[in-house]
Structure 1
Amino acid sequence: MTISTSKDVYYDPYDDVLNADPEGRIALEQLLKRFPEWEVDLTNARLSPTSTVRGWESMPALVP
């Protein structure tokens, strides 16, 4: 999280990337090596309905 001198707090998405779980990153890398061809099923993908959670609630992937 980045904090300014005017006591306002700003969200920096790069902080999340830098602090991401390395085991999760390794698992995702291995999964993508195993299944290099895939598609996101956008018709069934859903954004989170709350304002407190940013991102996808569901994002199904199709693996041929």
Structure 2
Amino acid sequence: MPSYDHIKIGIDYTGKKVLDGMRVSALYIYKDKKGNDFNNLKYDFNKVNVSHFALVLNYSF
């Protein structure tokens, strides 16, 4: 079974003064293969070299 590396980076910000009640969250995820994939595409396809970025804005009244 091949191995994978992954990185997760998350940032949260809570607004102050004028932006009171606002919260911003950002998340970045990356996954890459580590080592041998045994020349089999089922270990690579939709499993490695994948990145995702999400930005969430919440505002409370």
Q: TM-score, normalised by structure 1?
A: 0.26
Structure whose residues are more often strand by fraction: 2
Q: TM-score, normalised by structure 2?
A: 0.27
Q: Which has the higher contact order (CA 8 A, sep 6+)?
A: 2
